[in-house]
Amino acid sequence: MSPPTLRIASRRSQLAMVQTHWVRDALSQAHPGLMIQIEAMATQGDKILDVALAKIGDKGLFTKELEAQMLVDQADIAVHSLKDLPTNLPEGLILGCITEREDPADALVVHDKHRERSLASLPEGAVVGTSSLRRLAQLRHHYPHLRFQDVRGNVITRLEKLDAGEYDCLILAAAGLGRLGLGSRIHELIDPAISLHAVGQGALGIECRQGDGRVLEWIQVLEHRPTALRCRAERAFLRSLEGGCQVPIGVNSRLEDDQLVLTGMVASLDGLRLIRDEARGDQADPEAIGLALAETLRAQGAGAILEEIFASVRPEA
């Protein structure tokens, strides 16, 4: 009888493959004799590199093709950077596992000419490269003297553009740099007081078919409960606000004894309006904490800000 086989769908980017290989190796170690195959492909978000993500829509830009493979039984699981995975999944698919989180902070990477400076001391007019509206809004709020330009491409491509002098600095996820072995490029970890991170940032999400008990049992060995609790609260917060990865919504979460503390932020694109608050509750019900925080921010005007943003960045026909 042939050995059991697990088929993994993954993006083809270097970071995605590093993450997928980590999942493959961890599952192979946990389940000796399990055959694991990787099917790598380019997603829509990987193919469209000359348009800002916010202008082409963000619902599943980096996930739809992988999900389609599972729905037609060409793959059993898909490995995602959790921050890229929409909070509402296609019918028949579930988030089966959340892995232990790497540092979720945003990181400053500078051109060599600014190696003696910090984010706070960058000169007026310095060009900051970021494709994230969340980072853009928060940094505009705190550092209105800086200039911001969209930057696309994988992490290596972005670093090459920085080193070539197209930008004075970049804002990237510390976790991604670390996974690529590029932690030495981190010049400064940005304090959460300045930039709250993306929902799910630093964690991997493993998606699978609903009801596929054998596959779910295999991947559950990688579930990290403290990370899962925090990310479930964060994703409930985002889902309630109907936001996506290309909307200025940021979070930070932590566990304190049996409590989960969630900080959330919604900002206008110009950074002039920024609403921030926190909620805490029993970590046994993380979704309730996320929903409560969403209601708190909505009562303070977050809904109106998001409506304006949805209208301004609505994908072009």
Which one, of 242, 232, 216, lies nearest residue 93 by Cα? 216
CA pair distance 31, 177, nearest whole angstrom: 29
CA dihedral 176, 181, 186, 190 (to 10 degrees): 30
Tallying the residues shown for the chain, one arrives at 317
The residues assigned a catalytic role are 84
Q: What is the DSSP string of 240-270?
A: HTT--TTSSEEEEEEEETTEEEEEEEEE-TT
Question: How crowded is residue 150: how many other Cβ atoms within 10 Å of its Cβ?
Answer: 15
Cα 164 to its chain centre, rounded Å, is 27
Beta bridge mates, 253:
262
What DSSP letter does each residue of 124-150 carry, written as one string?
TTPEEE---HHHHHHHHHH-TTSEEE-
Q: Are 190 and 108 in contact (CB under 8 A)?
A: yes
Helix, strand, or coil (residue 168):
coil
